[in-house]
């Protein structure tokens, strides 16, 4: 009797777990299929975008009227953007620097810059043509290899990524792992889509870089232009940190050494209580300061804080104008920029954070200022009246001034800045001060924390 | 004696029940009354939504002012220069309303929150650097933004974050957790141009990484448990 009940219960339990298992297995299959479909979509789209990009690039090479040139060049850049987007969704074990990505970005960037040049009345030079052809020559083998991979997915049942070592290999039996064979970038046949793309990446890496001017033309960061001359050692950096802390309200501070920083600003970093600051090796100035102390209830208004910010700037030896503020509740953030002969130098920016409980400085980011500050020589300009004539009718000017603004690719533009209203929206419009062409438009919106430029 | 004692208790209990039910019934819009532990109603729910939106976790948004909601209010007050008392009065509510409002154009027309990218960035910061010092969180957000301006990476925040194999928090699902107030703030700060990572394109935790490629990159700065490299 008891035995029967036991057998019955076990049989039912087995059936239930079996049913559950089958259901889970089917669900997992559905998910696998959904992800497989997504990968296939991305890869097919990638291959298709590359193919179209190759075609329009060939057409762009031969086009001879500005209209057609602009059209095909813009098409190349839009196809390259699409290809990059698809490429970045392909399965991978890890992501690193991608030369395929770089190639796509740069060819898109170059053709976009060229299209803008033609649209602005410029012409395609012999050098441009050369670069365009070089890009096309590189694109053809990339396109071919991707199409080969595409067909191998069907014919050889290629996996997306290299399989990990099997249990046998992990235990030390079995032969060498397949992944090792292709790791040196040799032309050994790849075992997965990813390793095929990695080989392509390695072959692109060996080619010389393109020379052109554009947003992504080079990855070389300019040397900081605004740091004072002379190197400081660790002891001098510490006394610079101490003197800064005294100025912002921490008398007799003893900053402790945290570490060294590399990159654009080599320096020493220090810590005192909840504050962290970095002193540059060149010039021994504070490039970054942040005090994370807890802030007491607010006692100051934004205007009070702005007055404090001005005082702090003077104490720290800066002569800057405050251009904007953002209210974060317990502190306000101010941006201040340098001026030269009344011209605002927007790239030379310092950001300050002023606590609203006692007006103390709780944050400073002077990196942009030290990166870009130098004495500019201003070229001849058109008059303000001439510039105003170039604006849209009905654009109601509220403020106007001369300014230097940053443009993509580390370029600077000397421009007239107009703040004004058009059809219920506020804008900043920048006209090139030399020839009056429209260089940049920014829309001004009000976020909960303050004005924001889009 | 005993009777009087009892009746006093009854009066007290009835009074308490009445006042609780009355506060429950007499709710209006958010900001019409002082909210504290034990309050409930749609205005509490609205407040909880606002707190959650700004990264102050309140647990389930159930319209009940409990311990978690109180802790969230305290943190919110601390971060926004308001006296920390755990009660949602006029000052606290109006600050909450100010910060959760939509952006407007010059003529006052609402044009949305304008924070889609910041929100995703904050998710990534939260997933990758939750336990890190604040500057380390800003640096992680800065790495993602640095990738946009580097030719070798995709060109949108979503493409960079969801690139397969790029971030471990995407693989283990931690990216989907609600971002904390500090991650949101760090994302905003990085987006406004602050870069404590010194232009880094990668970061890793040396205690957890054996990847040879990443160790071979030049170290720029170490913040908290992360080394930032190029």
Q: Are A47 and A146 in contact (CB under 8 A)?
A: yes
Q: Check A88 against B154: CB less than 8 A apart.
A: yes
Q: Which residue matches tokens 């060149």? A: A282
**What's the topology of domain B116-229?**
Arc Repressor Mutant, subunit A (1.10.10)
- Distance (Å, whole) CA A426 – CA A446: 10
Q: Kind and range of the H or E element at A34?
A: helix A2-62
Give the pLDDT confidence score for residue A9 in this predicted structure: 93
How long a stretch of residues is chain A?
454
Distance from CA of A5 to the nearest CA of B (A): 44
Q: Per-residue pLDDT for chain A (454 aa), expressed as one digit of tens each?
A: 688 899 999 999 999 999 999 999 999 999 999 999 999 999 999 999 999 999 999 999 898 899 999 999 999 999 999 999 999 999 887 777 889 999 999 999 999 989 988 988 888 999 999 999 999 999 999 999 999 999 998 888 888 888 776 666 666 655 444 444 334 444 556 788 888 888 888 888 888 878 777 777 654 456 888 899 999 999 999 999 999 999 999 988 899 999 999 877 899 999 999 999 999 999 999 999 999 998 999 999 999 999 999 999 999 999 999 998 888 889 999 999 999 999 999 999 999 999 999 999 999 999 999 989 999 999 988 999 999 999 998 999 999 999 999 887 678 899 999 999 999 899 999 999 998 888 889 898 888 888 878 7
Q: Are A74 and A167 in contact (CB under 8 A)?
A: no
Name the closest residue on chain A to residue B149, using Cα atoms.
A216
Please tell me the distance from the alpha carbon of residue A280 to that of residue A288, in angstroms, as a whole number.
9
Q: How far is A427 from chain B (nearest CA, A)?
A: 9
Task: Tell me whether strands A361-365 and A286-291 are parallel, antiparallel or unpaired.
Answer: antiparallel
Test mutation, A443, A446, A451, chain B, max B CBs within 10 A: A446
Work out the minimum CA distance from B90 to partner chain A, whole angstroms: 15
Q: Do strands A396-407 and A343-355 pair parallel, antiparallel, or not at all (unpaired)?
A: parallel
Q: Give B214's contacts in chain A (Cβ within 8 Å).
A: 96
> Helix, strand, or coil here: A326?
strand
Nearest by CB to A259, which of B106, B166, B222? Answer: B222
| E-assigned strand segments in A85-147 | none
A299 near A285, Cβ under 8 Å?
no
In this predicted structure, what is the pLDDT of residue A247? 93
Sort out which chain A residues have CB atoms less than 8 A from B185's CB and list them.
Answer: 328
Beta-carbon contacts of residue A353 (< 8 Å; ≥ 6 apart): A331, A332, A333, A334, A361, A362, A363, A364
User: Do A292 and B134 lie within an 8 Å CB cutoff?
Assistant: yes
Nearest CA in chain A to B83: A297
- Cβ-defined contact of A85 to B159 (cutoff 8 Å): yes
Least confident among A205-209, B25-29, B130-134, B179-183: B25-29
Q: Please indicate whether, in this complex, the C-beta atoms of A426 and B100 are within 8 angstroms of each other.
A: no
- Measured CA distances, A314 to A226, A248, A323 (Å): 18, 12, 16
Q: What pLDDT score does A72 carry? A: 95
Section B80-98 average pLDDT: 90
Q: How far is B29 from chain A (nearest CA, A)?
A: 20
Q: For A179, what's the count of Cα atoms within 13 Å in the CB-facing half-sphere?
A: 11
CB-based contact B165 A92, cutoff 8 Å: yes
Q: Report d(CA A187, CA A200) in Å as an integer.
A: 9
Nearest to B154 among A85, A91, A262 (CB): A85
Q: Which of B105, B153, B199 sits opposite A445 (nearest CB)?
A: B105
Spelled out in words, what is the top-level CATH class assigned to the domain A384-453?
alpha beta
Q: What is the pLDDT of residue B115?
A: 79
> Are B220 and A263 an interchain contact pair (Cβ–Cβ within 8 Å)?
yes
Which residues in chain B are closer than 8 Å to A295, comparing Cβ atoms?
Answer: 78, 81
B150 vs A410, which has greater pLDDT? B150
- What is the predicted pLDDT for the residue at A446? 85
Interface test with A, best of B198, B202, B204 (most A CBs within 10 A): B198
Chain A interface disruption, residue of B113, B142, B151, most A CBs within 10 A: B151
Topology alike, domains B30-100 and B116-229: no
* Cβ within 8 Å, pair B106-A424: yes
pLDDT at A78: 95
> Any idea which fold B30-100 has?
Muramoyl-pentapeptide Carboxypeptidase; domain 1 (1.10.101)
Nearest CA in chain B to A445: B105
Residue B128 confidence (pLDDT) above 90: yes
- The per-residue pLDDT for B209 is 78
- Give CATH for domain A234-371: 3.30.310
Q: How confident is the model at residue B141 (pLDDT cuts 50, 70, 90)?
A: very high
Q: Return the number of other C-beta atoms located less than 10 Å from residue B88's C-beta.
A: 28
Spell out which residues of chain A touch residue B79, defining contact as CB-CB under 8 Å.
329-330
- Nearest-neighbour CA in chain B from A9: distance (Å): 38
Say if the Cβ atoms of B194 and A365 lie within 8 Å.
yes
Mean pLDDT, chain B, whole residue set: 85
| Residue boundaries of the structural domains of chain B | 30-100, 116-229
Rounded to 10 deg, the angle between the B134-148 and B116-129 helix axes is 120
Nearest CA in chain B to A216: B151
- Name the least confident of A79-93, A162-176, B101-115, B158-172: A162-176
Rounded to a whole number of angstroms, the distance between the first and last alpha carbons of chain B is: 82
For A93, nearest residue in chain B (alpha carbons)? B165
- Across the interface, of B81, B134, B151, the residue whose CB is closest to A298 is B81
pLDDT, position A163: 75
Q: Among all residues of chain B, which has the CA nearest to that of A334?
A: B192
> CA nearest A364: which of A321, A303, A312?
A312
Q: What integer pLDDT is reported at residue B59 of this predicted model? A: 87
């Amino acid at each position: 009797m008891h035995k029967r009940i036991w057998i019955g219960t076990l049989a039912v339990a087995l059936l239930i777990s079996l049913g559950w298992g089958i259901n889970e297995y089917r669900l997992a299959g559905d998910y696998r299929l959904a992800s497989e479909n997504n990968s296939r979509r991305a890869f097919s789209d990638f291959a298709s975008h590359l193919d179209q990009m190759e075609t329009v690039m060939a057409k762009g090479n031969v086009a001879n009227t500005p209209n057609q040139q602009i059209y095909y060049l813009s098409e190349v850049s839009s196809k390259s953007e699409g290809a990059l987007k698809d490429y970045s969704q392909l399965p991978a074990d890890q992501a690193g620097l991608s030369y395929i990505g770089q190639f796509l970005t740069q060819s898109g960037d170059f053709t976009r810059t060229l299209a803008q040049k033609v649209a602005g009345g410029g012409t395609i030079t012999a050098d441009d043509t050369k670069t365009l052809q070089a890009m096309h020559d590189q694109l053809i083998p990339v396109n071919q290899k991707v199409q080969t991979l595409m067909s191998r997915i069907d014919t050889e049942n290629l996996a997306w990524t290299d399989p990990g070592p099997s249990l046998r290999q992990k235990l030390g039996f079995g032969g060498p792992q397949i992944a090792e064979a292709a790791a040196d970038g040799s032309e050994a046949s790849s075992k997965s889509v990813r390793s095929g793309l990695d080989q392509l990446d390695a072959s692109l890496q060996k080619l010389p870089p393109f020379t052109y001017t554009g947003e992504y033309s080079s990855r070389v960061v300019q040397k900081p232009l605004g740091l004072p001359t002379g190197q400081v050692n660790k002891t001098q950096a510490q006394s610079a940190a101490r003197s800064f802390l005294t100025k912002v309200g921490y008398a007799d501070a003893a900053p402790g050494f945290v570490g060294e920083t590399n990159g654009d600003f080599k320096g020493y970093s220090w810590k005192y209580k909840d504050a962290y600051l970095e002193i540059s090796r060149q010039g021994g100035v504070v490039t970054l300061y942040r005090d994370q102390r807890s802030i007491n209830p607010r006692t100051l208004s934004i205007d009070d804080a702005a007055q404090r910010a001005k005082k702090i700037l003077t104490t720290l030896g800066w002569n800057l104008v405050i251009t904007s503020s953002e209210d974060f509740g317990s502190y306000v953030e101010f941006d201040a920029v340098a001026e030269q002969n009344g011209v605002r130098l927007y790239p030379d920016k310092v950001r300050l954070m002023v606590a609203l409980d006692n007006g103390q400085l709780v944050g400073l980011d002077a990196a942009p200022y030290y990166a870009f500050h130098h004495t500019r020589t201003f070229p001849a300009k058109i008059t303000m009246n001439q510039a105003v004539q170039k604006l849209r009718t009905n654009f109601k000017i509220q403020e106007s001034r001369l300014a230097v603004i940053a443009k993509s690719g580390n370029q600077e533009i000397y421009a007239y800045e107009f703040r004004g209203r058009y059809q219920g929206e506020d804008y900043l419009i920048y006209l090139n001060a030399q020839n009056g062409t429209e260089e940049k438009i920014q829309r001004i919106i009000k976020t909960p924390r303050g004005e924001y430029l889009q | 004696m005993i009777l009087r004692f009892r009746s006093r208790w009854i009066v007290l209990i009835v009074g308490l029940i009445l006042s609780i039910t009355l506060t429950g019934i007499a709710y209006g819009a958010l900001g019409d009354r002082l909210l504290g532990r034990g309050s409930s109603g749609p205005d509490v729910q609205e407040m909880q939504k606002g707190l959650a939106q700004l990264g102050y976790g309140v647990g389930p948004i159930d319209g009940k002012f409990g311990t978690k909601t109180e802790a969230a209010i305290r943190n919110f007050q601390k971060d926004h220069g308001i006296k920390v008392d755990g009660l949602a009065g006029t000052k606290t509510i109006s600050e909450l309303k100010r910060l959760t409002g939509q952006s407007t154009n010059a003529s006052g027309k609402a044009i949305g929150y304008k924070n889609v990218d910041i929100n995703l960035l904050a998710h990534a910061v939260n997933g990758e650097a939750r336990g890190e010092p604040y500057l380390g969180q800003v640096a992680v957000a800065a790495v993602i933004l640095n990738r946009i301006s580097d030719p070798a990476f995709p060109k949108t925040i979503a493409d960079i974050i969801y690139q397969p194999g790029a971030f471990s928090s995407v693989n283990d699902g931690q990216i989907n957790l609600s971002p904390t107030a500090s991650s949101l703030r760090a994302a905003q700060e990085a987006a406004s141009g602050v870069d404590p990572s010194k232009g880094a394109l990668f970061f890793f935790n040396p205690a957890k990484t054996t990847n040879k490629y990443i160790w071979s990159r030049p170290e720029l700065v170490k913040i908290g448990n992360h080394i930032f490299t190029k």
